[in-house]
Amino acid sequence: MAPERHVILPARDPDIAPLAPRSRGNHSFHIPVMGTGFTVDTPIRVARYGITSVIAIGDDILLEQMRNHYCKVLGKPYLPVQRREPDARARRIRLYLNLVNEVVAEQTESLRSALFQPGNDICRYFELLPDCPLRSAYDEMVACRNSREKTRRQAHLRRQIIPGRIDVNIMSKIDRDEYSRDLKGAPENGLAMAALRGFATSNLASAVVLSAGINRRLYAYMAQFEDFFPTEDGPSKKQIIIKVSDFRSALLQGKMLAKHGLWVSEFRIESGLNCGGHAFATVGELLGPILEEFKSNRLSLERQLREICAGALIRRGYEPRELRAFRISVQGGVGTSEEHNFLIANYAVDSVGWGTPFLLVPEATNVDEEHLKKLVAAGEEDVVLSDNSPLGIPFWILATSASEANRRRHVASGRPGSPCPKGYLAMDSEFSRVPLCKAARRYQTLKLNQLRGSRLPEHHKQAALEEVVAKTCLCADLAAGVLNRCGLDARSHTAVCCGPGIAYFKRVATLKEMVDHIYGRCDLLNPADRPHMFIKELSLYIDNFLREQHKWAMGLSNRTAQYFSEYKRNLELGVQYYRRMASQLCSREYNSFLAALDRYDILLQGLAAEARFGYAFNRDMALRPIDRPERQVIAEQPGGKMR
C-alpha cells in the first residue's frame, strides 16, 4: 500500500475562473540560458537583485572548473571530483549548483542587512524594479521625513526582498549513453539523465527547463525523484518548465509528464527562428498566431493536464488538494519596452525572456573583451543561421567569432574537425559502434573520404562536403568565453550563439541600463529603424523557406511538396493575423508595421509553394527566380545564409 501523501489538485472547475499564476518576484523578465558558458554564473551576478536566470548544466567539465574558480575567489574549500569517479557527472553538477545556491543566499542576506544608502545593493534592488507596488513603497520610504516611520518602512522592505530563481537547462536531445572500454553504460548514466540527477539531488528550490525535443526515458526518470512532487506545504521543491515552439508540442509533452504525475509549472514559448543558438523552426507558424493559440486554449490545456495528472498522482498515493495554475512565458527577438509590454498585455504572458541583448552586459553574462567588441560591431550580415551544430539543427552564430576563424583554418589546412575533447555531442554511429561527434576530426575524415568516393552529381557532392566541414566543436567553443574571461584557458576559441537582434544594439551596457531599457526608462537601440520583432521573424521564416528549397534542390533534404505548401500557407495566415492585430500596437509602431507587412505580403505572393524553384531577394525586396541547380547553383554566404 502506497503511503498517504498530499498533492495539489483542482479544487474548482477551471472553466469558471482561471487560477492566478504564482508570483515569482516583481520583475517581468528573465534571462534565458545562452550557450554553456555565457550564463553559467549569471545567478551569482544578478539573482540577489530579484532577477531569474538559467544555467546550462550539460557541461559538467565546465561546471567543475567554475566551482574551482569560485571557491578560490570566495575562499571556500574545494575538493575536486575526478571524471572517472562513480557518478562524477551528477556529483559535479550537484556540487556546483549547491555552491551557486549558497553564494546567492549569502549575497541576499548581506543585501537585506545593508544600509539604505545611495549606491548600496539594497537600494539597487528596488531601483531596478519596474513600476509596481514594491517600487512605489521604496519611493515612499525614500521620500519619508519621519525617522521612526522611515525605519518601519525600511524593515517592511527588507522582508519583501526575494532573490531571483536559479533555474537550470537540460537539452533533452543530448542524452547519449556513456561508454567505458567500448561497453555501453546503464541508461541512467546517459548525459541528460545524469544531469537531471545532479539537479534533482541538489538543494536548489527552482525549475529545470527542458528543451530541444522529447525524451521519453528522461520524463519517466524524473518521476523517481520526490522533489518533483508536491508536499503538504504546497508545490514541489523542483519544478518543470518545458520550452516549446508551438501549442501542439506543449500539449503532447505536458500529457507525457502528467501521466507520470509530473506537473508542468510553466510553458516557455520561444520563436522558432528569431532566437539565439539552436533554431527549431516551425512549418512557417509565426510567434504571434502561436501566442494567440496559447491564449485562447490556456484553460483547455490546463484542464486536460489537470485531469491526467490528478489520476496519476492519486495512483501514487497522494491526497487531493488545490493545484496552482501553470505560467506562460515567451522569448525570442524582443528588443523594446513596447514589445515587452505588448506581449504581457495582449497575450497574458507572465514573463518575457531577454537573451541576446544581455550578451552586451558584462555584469550579467560572460563574453571576453575581444568578442564584446565584435558583438558591438556586428551587423545583420555577421549573424548567420549556420550548419555549425553537430546535432544537425540550424544554429545562429557570430560569423566573426574566433571559433569560426579556427574552423576555417582547419578546413584550409586540409585537417578539418576537432579533437573532440569533451564528446557531449558524440551521437553518430555510422562509422563506429561507439558514437562519434560530427564535428570530430575522425568523423569528418571518414565522412569526407566516403563522399569523395561516391557517385553523387558533382554539385551535390560539393554541397555535402561543405555541410560536413561546417560542423564546429560547440562543446568546447561555447564555454570558451567564460574560460577566457576568467583566465582559465587562454587557448580556447570562443563561439558566440547570439540571435540576429544583436545587430541593433551598438554598445556595451550596465545592468541598470539594460533593465531600464526593458522597462522603457532609457533606449539602447541603434539604429532606430529596427523592425518589429514579429516582422523580423516573418522575414527570417521567408529566408528559411528559400533555404529549405535550396537544400532540397541540392539533394540535402527530403522535404516534400506538402511541406512547402503547408509552410507557405502558414506564412500567409500569419500575415493575415498580423493585419488584424496591428490596431492593438502603439501609434509609434502601427504605420511602419503595416508598411513592412505589405512588402512581405508581396514577396510571399511570388514564392512557389512547390519545391521546384529556388528564389533569392535582396534588401530592397526585389524577387528573382533561380533555376534548379542542374542549371545554376545558388550562391550562399559562409554559414548558409542566402543572399
Q: What pLDDT was estimated at residue 221? A: 96
In this structure, the answer to whether residues 534 and 514 fall within a common structural domain is no
Q: What pLDDT was estimated at residue 318? A: 83
CA 619 to chain centre: 29
Q: What pLDDT was estimated at residue 319? A: 76
Residue of 222, 194, 207, 10 whose CA lies nearest to 93: 194
In this structure, the answer to whether residues 506 and 620 fall within a common structural domain is no
Assigned domain for 12 exists: no
Q: How many whole angstroms separate alpha carbon 99 and alpha carbon 191?
A: 21
DSSP string, 516-552: HHHTTSS--BSSTTPPPHHHHHHHHHHHHHHHHHHHH
Q: Which three cell numbers stand for residue 170?
A: 537540460
Burial of 123: CB neighbours in 10 Å, binned 0-12, 13-18, 19+: middle
Assigned domain for 418 exists: yes
Whether 195 and 189 have beta carbons less than 8 Å apart is answered as no
In this structure, the answer to whether residues 457 and 559 fall within a common structural domain is no
Assigned domain for 301 exists: no
In this structure, the answer to whether residues 512 and 539 fall within a common structural domain is no
The residues that bridge with 169 in the sheet, in sequence order, are 56, 209
Kind and range of the H or E run holding 168: strand 166-171
For residue 462, the tally of other CB atoms under 10 A from its CB is 14
CA-angle at 127, arms to 126 and 129, nearest 5°? 70
In this structure, the answer to whether residues 486 and 569 fall within a common structural domain is no
Q: What is the dihedral of CA 229, 233, 235, 237, to 10 degrees?
A: -70
**Owning domain of residue 615:** 528-643
In this structure, the answer to whether residues 552 and 430 fall within a common structural domain is no
Helix (H, G, I), strand (E, B) or coil at 170: strand
In the predicted model, residues of the chain with pLDDT beneath 50 are 1-23, 610-643
Pairing of strands 239-244, 207-211: parallel
Place of cell 532566437: 275
Assigned domain for 8 exists: no
Q: What pLDDT was estimated at residue 289? A: 98
Domain endpoint, select from 466, 495, 526 = 526
Q: What pLDDT was estimated at residue 178? A: 78
- The amino acid sitting at 619 is R
Domain endpoint, select from 491, 511, 526 = 526
Q: How far does the chain reach from its first CA to its final CA, in angstroms?
A: 66
Assigned domain for 596 exists: yes
Place of cell 561527434: 437
In this structure, the answer to whether residues 546 and 642 fall within a common structural domain is yes
Q: How many whole angstroms separate alpha carbon 282 and alpha carbon 632?
A: 29
Up-side HSE of residue 493: CA atoms within 13 Å toward CB? 17
Q: What pLDDT was estimated at residue 307? A: 93
Task: From residue 116, give the alpha-carbon distance in Å to each of 29, 42, 105, 111, 122.
Answer: 25, 25, 19, 10, 6
Whether 261 and 227 have beta carbons less than 8 Å apart is answered as no
Kind and range of the H or E run holding 605: helix 587-606
In this structure, the answer to whether residues 507 and 564 fall within a common structural domain is no
Domain endpoint, select from 526, 541, 556 = 526
In this structure, the answer to whether residues 519 and 544 fall within a common structural domain is no
Q: What pLDDT was estimated at residue 490? A: 77
In this structure, the answer to whether residues 384 and 505 fall within a common structural domain is yes
In this structure, the answer to whether residues 521 and 550 fall within a common structural domain is no
Q: How many whole angstroms separate alpha carbon 184 and alpha carbon 167?
A: 31
Kind and range of the H or E run holding 376: helix 369-377
In this structure, the answer to whether residues 382 and 502 fall within a common structural domain is yes
Assigned domain for 602 exists: yes
Q: What pLDDT was estimated at residue 10? A: 37
Assigned domain for 463 exists: yes
Assigned domain for 641 exists: yes
Q: Please state the domain count of the chain.
A: 2
